[in-house]
A and B are shown apart, each in its own frame.
Chain A
Amino acid sequence: MKIRIKFRKYGVMKFIGHLDIMRYFQKAIRRAGIDICYSAGFSPHMIMSFASPLGVGLTSDGEYLDIEIGNELSSASAVHRLNAVMAEGVEVLSFRRIPDEKASNAMSLVAAADYEVRFRDPDVLPENYAKAWDSFCSQDAILITKKTKKGERELDLKPLLYQASLGQDADGAPVIFLRLSSGSADNVKPELVLEAFGAHAGFSLPEFALLIHRKELYANSGTTEEPHFVSLEALGEEF
């Protein structure tokens, strides 16, 4: 049976990198006594795949991994067992059954991601940042140069920026909400958008200026032209 686990990463765990989070879950699943399936061969490994690596320093409410398990246990008891063996800073939110076919794999499904971006020190923003943000967003194209392994290429962020809005925290600090194209095809990191905004508004971001929080990961059940985003969690069902 294929399972999708959704979890939240916060607090000190944001400093634990993706590879170590994978190792962490391998051990956690053993501690929880979940009957996970292994690959064949002399040194079998757990059948487990993560949807999308989260960079060091980022927190998240929407991280996913898919596993395969043998025995039946209810979603509720699996969540309970996993949370009983978690370190502070990782919380399992759901444990759902997903369809068996290959195409349902979390990693290949990821099409978009929601982010909240805050500023460690809001004073890095110019005074008229709200106006600048509106003018940034209302451009017909947002051209940037993206560094890739093969060199630099020109890229228009606009079609990859599904939603962008500026709001405020309870204490009045600016929060930028972004829904960005994500996954293997056009993966846009929130830093890239904020750098483009900085270039547009005439300010630059110092190192570590941003506090980035991932909210959710989505699959696209619509078309490229008319996307319809559903969270990866919604593709599974409780049992």
Chain B
Amino acid sequence: MTKSDTGKKLALSDEILLSIDKPARYLGNEINAVYKDKDQVDVRFCMCFPDVYEIGMSHLGIQILYDMFNQREDVWCERVYSPWVDLDRVLRERRIPLFALESQDPVRDFDFLGITLQYEMCYTNVLQVLDLSGIPLSAAERTWEDPIVIGGGPCAVNPEPLAEFFDLFYIGEGETSYFALIDAYKEVRETGGNRQEFLERAAGIPGIYVPSFYEISYHEDGTIASMEPVNPHAPRKVEKQVVADLTHTYYPKKPLVPFIKATQDRVVLEIQRGCIRGCRFCQAGMLYRPTRERSLKMLKEAALQMLESTGHEEISLSSLSSSDYSQLPELVNFLIDTFGNKGVNISLPSLRIDAFSLDVMGKVQDVRKSSLTFAPEAGSQRLRDVINKGLTEEVILEGAGQAFEGGWSKVKLYFMLGLPTETEEDQKGIAHLAEKIARRYYEIPKERRNGKCQITVSTSFFVPKPFTPFQWARMCTREEFLEKAHTVNAEIKEQLNRKSIRYNWHEADVTVLEGIFARGDRRVAKALRLAYEKGCLFDSWTEHFHNELWLAAFEEAGVDTDFYTTRKRELGEVFPWDFIDIGVTRKFLQREWERAHEGKVTPNCLAGCQGCGAARWHTGVCPGSTPADIQEGGEQA
């Protein structure tokens, strides 16, 4: 070794690193990466985002947990991402075990492998990570020598399709129960206990689900008859974890900064969790109830610290609906005043378009280049009432009009196709709304406009998700979806301003697959494993998605996919995810499902509590809780 070649140890040779794309994905060593002496820690935790590095590194949740775990002296938390297809091939050919980025040690040597489940289309990558690590795919085949494999994240609210592959699932927000789990693990290890004993201890920790401790029986029609605990330590219901106080909790002051450009190459400031709106299709809106804000003081401090420790040139606010943050003007003005003249860009996604947001957007972006975003989700007022999306045509046209007068000329519109009760009129309504916006633009006298307007209409296909009022809904077939998209497309092409409107629609095959896993049960696991064995990987990447392999896998596994997607579900049906107590009650969801069919709008949490069930945590927006800023000691005055 030459002098200039010393430094951190690497799992991969120079030859490998120089012959694959973006070797920086596999080096670790990033700014703010945490290095510890592995002999000085008791527990080694490997955190995994099962997608390519640039996507995984952009995820805030991992950064929060990475920081949280590493605050403990007895724990060293490292990271691993899915190796891209080029390295995947090399690792298999040369039998190199998958390794964590920091220590470059095999993942197999860790105590825990935690995998975040952010979308269904990463499930084959979960198997890839296990497989390349040399960890048996089935939890039942693992020994005390293997890491404990734990899943978390939004898809863990229906963990059943993955139940076979995980030892544990963490249901809910990661900030609350992980330390108890680590402590239990240490104790069982120190006292010479075994894997089974640890799993039993884990089952008693709030939010931890041990899938092997339950047995499912089915009716003749394939629906679930019952789900019974078969271990005395396993609770009947697993309660979702909620951070009561988002101001006084873990938040990374020193987020990781990758060397290659990640999808989010910026500081992310999560201003609140949850959403007061209650759109009936939206899973996040139900999972993260109640809406909880972080205090202004905490956010200001965090913004300063994170920009300083990363050197990022951009900061972005993050939340499901930023306009609902009670102190948004104060926060935004602070950011503009503090960083505006220091070359820091301020990015404000998910803002409702109104006078305030147009004013601040005018200050922080180049109006001619930036675009306005609206998400009406449905094309007609009737259907918007069905989905409880409280955005009206008047509001959209008013906002667009103001923006056009202010110099904007680009608009992005997001819709869903295949929503419950949707008719052809609703589909055409999408085209009509885009047309009305274009007309509003051309009402402005020619000399004051900024050329043509560009309206981009995007539709995704609706996938019913667990724990939403639409969990009972029938999902459309691939053919139905495509027909709807063609209806919209044809209608747009008929219109006067068709040249100003661009239309994109999502792929239908991958949506159907998402639908199968979203509401799947333990029986779809077989198909997942077969698909992986046939070579399916990176399914969310169009160029790597192989629908024919998936179809073959379902066929071979004897899985009737319609059972999970297009089948009509009865009100009383037992769902695979019913054993989880998400806070929002099934009664509330059912009431919302019924109100949807009556076209009745339900007010948001601020307008009046609807008694969804989340109030029992006594926090956030719910009646009987203490707002964040009062907890902070009244600093806003």
Do A and B interact with each other, yes or no? Answer: yes
With known contacts A10-B5, A11-B7, A12-B7, A30–B313 Cβ distance under 8 A: yes
Check A169 against B2 for contact (C-beta < 8 Å). Answer: yes
**Is A152 among interface residues, defined by CB-CB distance under 8 A?**
no
**Complex-state Cα separation, A180 to B179, whole angstroms:** 58
* Interface residue range, chain B: 20 to 34
Which residues of B lie under 8 Å from residue A29 when comparing CB positions? 311
Residue in chain A with minimal CB distance to B257: A27
Using Cβ atoms and an 8 Å threshold, which residues of chain B touch A13?
7, 29
Q: Residue A23 at the B interface, CB < 8 A?
A: yes
Contact A10 B7 (CB under 8 A): yes
Q: Which residues of B contact A46 (CB under 8 A)?
A: 343
Cβ–Cβ contact B31 & A87, under 8 A:
yes
Q: Which single member of A24, A28, A88, A208 contacts B8 (CB below 8 Å)? A: A88
The number of A-B residue pairs with CB atoms under 8 Å apart is 93
One digit per residue, 1 when the CB lies within 8 angstroms of any chain B CB and 0 when it does not, for chain A 67-107 equals: 00000000000000000010111000000000000000000
A203 proximal to B (CB < 8 A): no
Residue of A nearest to B25 (CB): A15
Q: Is the CB of A57 within 8 A of B14?
A: yes
Judge whether B310 is part of the interface by a CB distance below 8 angstroms.
Answer: yes
Cβ-based interface call for A20 (8 A) = yes
**Interchain CB contact under 8 A, B2 and A211:** yes
Separation in Å of the B316 CB from the closest CB of chain A? 16
Would you call A26 an interface residue if the criterion is a C-beta within 8 Å of the partner chain's C-beta atoms? yes
**A120 interfacial by beta-carbon distance below 8 Å:** yes
Q: Which of B15-23, B211-219, B385-393 contacts A (4 or more CB under 8 A)?
A: B15-23
Query: Is A31 among interface residues, defined by CB-CB distance under 8 A?
Result: yes
Size category of the binding interface on chain A: 35 or more
Chain A, residues 2-40, CB within 8 Å of chain B (1/0): the string is: 000000001111011100100110111111010000100
- Whether the Cβ atoms of A15 and B27 lie closer than 8 Å is yes
- Knowing A10-B6, A12-B7, A12-B10, the reply to whether A89 touches B29 (Cβ < 8 A) is yes
Any chain B CB within 8 A of the CB of A166? no
**B309 CB-CB contact with A under 8 Å:** yes
One of B15, B17, B308, B345 near A15 (C-beta < 8 A): B17
Q: B24 contacts A16, CB within 8 Å?
A: yes
Q: A20-B259, A120-B14 are in contact. Are A85 and B5 (CB under 8 A)?
A: no
User: Chain A residues near B27 (CB, 8 Å)?
Assistant: 12, 15
Q: How far is the CB of A55 from chain B (nearest CB, A)?
A: 10
Assuming A15-B17, A20-B259, is B311 touching A87 (CB within 8 A)? no
**Residues of chain A contacted by B261 (CB below 8 angstroms):** 20, 23
What 1/0 mask marks residues of chain A from 118 to 140 whose CB sits below 8 Å from any chain B CB?
10100000000000000000000
User: What CA separation (Å) do A17 and B309 show in the bound complex?
Assistant: 23
B23: which A residues are within 8 A, CB to CB?
Answer: 15, 56
Residues B313 and A26 in contact, CB atoms below 8 Å apart:
yes
Contact A208 B15 (CB under 8 A): yes
* Bound Cα distance from A209 to B316, whole angstroms: 45
Indicate whether A216 reaches chain B with its CB closer than 8 angstroms. Answer: no
Q: Kindly provide the distance from the CB of B306 to the nearest chain A CB, expressed in whole angstroms.
A: 11
Q: Are A27 and B310 in contact, with the CB atoms below 8 A?
A: yes
Task: Tell me the complex Cα distance, A59–B7, Å.
Answer: 12
Q: Which residues of A contact B (CB under 8 A)?
A: 10-13, 15-17, 20, 23-24, 26-31, 33, 38, 42-46, 56-57, 59-61, 85, 87-89, 118, 120, 169, 207-208, 211, 213
Interface of B toward A, CB cutoff 8 Å: 2, 4-8, 10, 14-15, 17-19, 23-24, 27-31, 257, 259-261, 307-313, 343, 345, 366
